[in-house]
């Protein structure tokens, strides 16, 4: 074989789409008055977002490949401007981190203070969220996670 | 290019700038130290997730699509009267100042338009509004010292007030001098949030983006979030991008029309008892009457002074203060007042032998009333 044959092959390998497709969406929580007088929370496109508004960040994954996927970990650093609130409805609770290195429940996290020492972390200190999918994701199957956040 | 499209391009330019600035700010400050008004309008918030996994034992990773939105403009402001008590003025005073503080609680830099009203709704403030100021104007505290300086504080709108910062605004006016019944004037200041971004240029009042405007995901919408800060009675309304505060001018110092009359009566000359003459050795009573001709307004701390002629000698302990008498009698119900500089009852009295001055201090001469003081001398 000549190197000439290798080149297109290498290009083909690099161009192979990743078996996992991952999509995030940010939706705004809006109060919608129903006909019976109650109010329900609807998720709408983030057209009008001002500080203090509540948004839901959704992460949808799908195994688009032909092989099962093992050990799936989805990490979502919180963007500047969002403060973590809680796990989204019908979503597994994420592991939280205040530094991007140590993950756990909020009660286990501590934040250093300027005067020295640490204090217990609050939801506003969360900088990263992470979900670990315990079971293999079969080819063609999908799932989604979500968390709620407040616009700072 | 349509005006709308042009505007969108302008917006998106600002949005990128805003995002850069926000990024710089948050890189330095801790997440907890964000301004109360929140992330600056125009900041683009982008969310991306990362996945790592193995396929057939081979580690792989995938980055997600990026979801973004633009933080819109949450318009809010606070307008308060700076001083808790009314501003004390006197009749005819020019340039009487009341102070207000306007705070920008919007998540962006804004101009603020200012206007005033002298027709404050009844019940907002205590007291009764019974006069208006003339030559009334609004000025912004240009040098930020909280005091009205006519030379520097000339701006009539607040220019480029940064997020979460305040500026003092003055209402300056003249108190009429020809209205004796004027006691209290109420003024209201209105601040309206206007477009910012152009220094030294007065912005136009913001208009909230209609709720049903389409395709505004990447534009900076204007959302009014201000409260009704003066209740049902006042001018302000919920979410109108405006704020009101009110303050009172109280006329506390007034001029009164005081007149003093002086008379002398020879009490005895040691010769004649019926009709004493002003002979050497005769005792003479001087009578000073102070009249306050201004109705309803008392004169406070009136000092009556009289310098004795060198040909007379003060009779110690002869100072008396009381109500004005009639038919040649100086005073009735008089109170002998010590003349050593001390206070007897509410009256003060003194005699200075060097300057030959008799002084009687009367704490209050009521509106429309008179008080008399008398003392005696002997003719040398």
ipTM for this prediction: 0.84
pLDDT at res. B4: 47
Distance, in Å, from the CA atom of B372 to the CA atom of B333, rounded to the nearest integer, reads 10
The answer on pLDDT for B311 being more than 50 is: yes
Q: Are B304 and B315 in contact, with CB atoms under 8 Å apart?
A: no
The answer on pLDDT for A4 being more than 60 is: no
How far does the CA of residue A5 sit from the closest CA of chain B (Å)?
25
State which residues form the domain around A45.
14-151
Proportion of chain A above pLDDT 70, given as a percent: 89
Angle at the Cα of B12 from the Cα atoms of B221 and B26, rounded to 5 degrees: 85
Among B133, B135, B137, residue whose Cα is nearest residue B179: B133
The answer on pLDDT for A8 being more than 50 is: no
How far does the CA of residue A58 sit from the closest CA of chain B (Å)?
9
B22 closest CB neighbour out of A18, A48, A80: A80
Assigned domain for A5 exists: no
Angle at the Cα of B126 from the Cα atoms of B124 and B132, rounded to 5 degrees: 80
The answer on pLDDT for A68 being more than 70 is: yes
Write the Ramachandran bin of B138: left for phi over 0, alpha for psi from -120 to 50, otherwise beta.
beta
Assigned domain for A146 exists: yes
pLDDT at res. B7: 42
A18 closest CB neighbour out of B54, B62, B65: B62
What's the CATH code of the domain at A137? 2.60.40
Are the beta carbons of B221 and A47 separated by less than 8 Å? yes
Assigned domain for A66 exists: yes
Assigned domain for A107 exists: yes
Instruction: Provide the token pair at B22.
Output: 């926000």
Size of interface A-B (CB pairs under 8 A): 136
Q: Are B266 and B275 in contact, with CB atoms under 8 Å apart?
A: no
A151 closest CB neighbour out of B38, B53, B68: B38
Angle at the Cα of A20 from the Cα atoms of A16 and A26, rounded to 5 degrees: 125
How far does the CA of residue B233 sit from the closest CA of chain A (Å)?
29
Distance, in Å, from the CA atom of B132 to the CA atom of B184, rounded to the nearest integer, reads 9
Instruction: Provide the token pair at B163.
Output: 């997020």
Q: Choose, out of A26, A81, A123, A150, the residue to mutate when testing the contact with B (most B CBs < 10 Å).
A: A81
Are the beta carbons of B64 and A23 separated by less than 8 Å? yes
Secondary structure class of B28 (helix, strand, coil): helix
B74 closest CB neighbour out of A50, A57, A67: A50
Q: Are A75 and B39 in contact, with CB atoms under 8 Å apart?
A: no
Instruction: Provide the token pair at B113.
Output: 């338009």
Q: What is the pLDDT of residues B111-153, one digit of tens each?
A: 999 999 999 998 889 889 999 999 999 999 999 999 999 999 9
Computed over every residue of chain B, the mean pLDDT equals 84
Q: Which residue of B has its CA nearest to A57?
A: B47
Q: How sure is the predictor about B18, in pLDDT bands with cuts at 50, 70 and 90?
A: very low
Are the beta carbons of A77 and B64 separated by less than 8 Å? no
A48 closest CB neighbour out of B26, B57, B221: B221
Are the beta carbons of A76 and B49 separated by less than 8 Å? yes
Are the beta carbons of B52 and A72 separated by less than 8 Å? yes
Residue A130: CB atoms within 10 Å: 19
pLDDT at res. B34: 54
How far does the CA of residue B49 sit from the closest CA of chain A (Å)?
4
pLDDT at res. B37: 86
Inform me whether the C-beta atom of residue B226 falls under 8 Å from chain A C-beta atoms: no
pLDDT at res. B112: 97
Q: What is the pLDDT of residues B162-183, one digit of tens each?
A: 999 999 999 999 999 878 788 8
Is pLDDT larger for residue B9 or for residue B160?
A: B160
Q: Which residue of A has its CA nearest to B47?
A: A79
Q: What is the pLDDT of residues B204-217, one digit of tens each?
A: 999 998 877 665 66
Q: What is the pLDDT of residues B83-98, one digit of tens each?
A: 989 999 988 889 999 9
pLDDT at res. B200: 94
- The stretch B329-357 carries a mean pLDDT of 84
Among A22, A26, A94, A34, residue whose Cα is nearest residue A64: A22
Assigned domain for A8 exists: no
Secondary structure class of B31 (helix, strand, coil): helix
* Structural domains for chain B: 3-71 (no CATH), 74-253 (2.60.40.10), 258-379 (2.60.40.740)
Distance, in Å, from the CA atom of A125 to the CA atom of B198, rounded to the nearest integer, reads 36
- Per the DSSP assignment, residues forming a β-bridge with B159 are none
Q: Which residue of A has its CA nearest to B70?
A: A49
- Per the DSSP assignment, residues forming a β-bridge with A110 are A120
Distance, in Å, from the CA atom of B327 to the CA atom of B345, rounded to the nearest integer, reads 27
Inform me whether the C-beta atom of residue B25 falls under 8 Å from chain A C-beta atoms: no
Assigned domain for A3 exists: no
Distance, in Å, from the CA atom of A143 to the CA atom of A72, rounded to the nearest integer, reads 11
Q: Which residue of B has its CA nearest to A78?
A: B47
Gyration radius from chain A CA atoms: 20
Distance, in Å, from the CA atom of A145 to the CA atom of B64, rounded to the nearest integer, reads 13
Sheet holding B299-307, edge to edge: B299-307, B357-365, B347-352, B340-344
The answer on pLDDT for B220 being more than 60 is: yes
Inform me whether the C-beta atom of residue A45 falls under 8 Å from chain B C-beta atoms: yes
Distance, in Å, from the CA atom of A95 to the CA atom of B153, rounded to the nearest integer, reads 56
Q: Provide the domain count of chain A.
A: 1
Among B230, B224, B248, B16, residue whose Cα is nearest residue B126: B248
Distance, in Å, from the CA atom of B159 to the CA atom of B205, rounded to the nearest integer, reads 13
B45 chain-A contacts, CB cut-off 8 A: 26, 49, 79-82, 151
Are the beta carbons of B55 and A45 separated by less than 8 Å? no
Proportion of chain A above pLDDT 90, given as a percent: 59
Q: Which residue of A has its CA nearest to B35?
A: A152
pLDDT at res. B217: 64
Which residues have C-beta within 8 Å of that of residue A3, sequence separation ≥ 6?
none
Q: What is the pLDDT of residues B21-40, one digit of tens each?
A: 333 333 333 444 456 888 99
Distance, in Å, from the CA atom of B94 to the CA atom of B88, rounded to the nearest integer, reads 12
Among A77, A81, A149, residue whose Cα is nearest residue B48: A77
Candidate from A102-116, B70-84, B225-239, B260-274 with smallest mean pLDDT: B260-274
pLDDT at res. A105: 92
A76 chain-B contacts, CB cut-off 8 A: 47-50
| Dihedral angle sign, alpha carbons of residues B276, B278, B279, B285 | positive
Are the beta carbons of B51 and A77 separated by less than 8 Å? no
Strand B184-194 vs strand B73-75: parallel, antiparallel, or unpaired? unpaired
Distance, in Å, from the CA atom of B307 to the CA atom of B169, rounded to the nearest integer, reads 51
């Amino acid at each position: 074989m000549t190197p000439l044959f290798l080149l297109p092959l290498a290009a083909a390998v690099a161009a192979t789409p990743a078996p996992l497709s991952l999509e995030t969406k940010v939706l705004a929580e809006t109060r919608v008055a129903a006909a019976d007088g109650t109010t329900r929370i609807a998720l709408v496109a983030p057209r009008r977002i001002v500080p203090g508004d509540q948004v839901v960040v959704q992460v949808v994954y799908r195994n688009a490949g032909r092989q099962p996927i093992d050990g799936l970990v989805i990490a979502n650093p919180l963007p500047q401007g969002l403060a973590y609130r809680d796990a989204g409805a019908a979503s597994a609770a994420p592991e939280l981190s205040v530094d991007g290195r140590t993950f756990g429940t909020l009660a286990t996290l501590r934040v250093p203070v300027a005067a020295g020492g640490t204090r217990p972390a609050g939801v506003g200190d969360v900088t990263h969220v992470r979900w670990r999918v315990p079971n293999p994701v079969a080819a063609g199957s999908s799932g989604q996670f979500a968390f709620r956040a407040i616009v700072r | 290019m349509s005006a709308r499209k042009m505007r969108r391009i302008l917006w998106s330019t600002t949005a990128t700038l805003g995002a850069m600035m926000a990024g710089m700010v948050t890189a330095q400050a801790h997440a907890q130290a964000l301004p109360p008004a929140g992330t600056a309008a125009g900041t683009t918030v982008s969310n991306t997730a990362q996945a790592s996994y193995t396929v057939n034992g081979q580690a792989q990773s995938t980055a997600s699509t990026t979801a973004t939105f633009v933080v819109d403009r949450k318009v809010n402001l606070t307008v308060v009267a700076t001083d808790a008590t009314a501003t004390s003025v006197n009749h005819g005073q020019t340039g009487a100042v009341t102070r207000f503080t306007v705070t920008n609680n919007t998540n962006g830099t804004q101009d603020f338009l200012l206007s005033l009203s002298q027709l404050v709704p009844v019940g907002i403030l205590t007291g009764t509004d019974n006069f208006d100021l003339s030559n009334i104007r609004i000025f912004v505290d240009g040098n930020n010292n909280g005091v009205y300086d006519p030379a520097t504080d000339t701006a009539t709108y607040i220019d480029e007030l940064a997020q979460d910062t305040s500026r003092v605004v003055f209402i300056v006016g003249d108190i009429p001098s020809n209205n004796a019944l004027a006691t209290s004037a109420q003024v209201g200041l209105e601040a309206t949030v206007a477009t910012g971004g152009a220094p030294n240029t007065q912005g136009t009042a913001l208009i909230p983006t209609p709720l049903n405007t389409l395709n505004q995901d990447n534009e900076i919408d204007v959302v009014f979030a201000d409260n009704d800060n003066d209740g049902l009675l006042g001018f302000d309304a919920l979410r109108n991008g405006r704020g009101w505060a009110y303050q009172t001018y109280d006329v506390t110092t007034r001029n009164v029309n005081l007149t003093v009359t002086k008379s002398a009566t020879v009490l005895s000359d040691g010769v004649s008892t019926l009709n004493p003459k002003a002979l050497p050795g005769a005792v003479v009573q001087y009578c000073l009457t102070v009249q306050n001709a201004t109705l309803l307004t008392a004169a406070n701390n009136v000092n009556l002074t009289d310098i004795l002629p060198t040909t007379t000698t003060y009779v110690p302990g002869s100072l008396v203060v009381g109500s004005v008498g009639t038919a040649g009698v100086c005073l009735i119900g008089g109170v002998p007042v010590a003349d050593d500089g001390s206070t007897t009852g509410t009256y003060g009295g003194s005699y200075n032998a060097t300057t030959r001055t008799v002084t009687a201090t009367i704490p209050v001469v009521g509106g429309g009333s008179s008080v008399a003081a008398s003392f005696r001398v002997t003719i040398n």
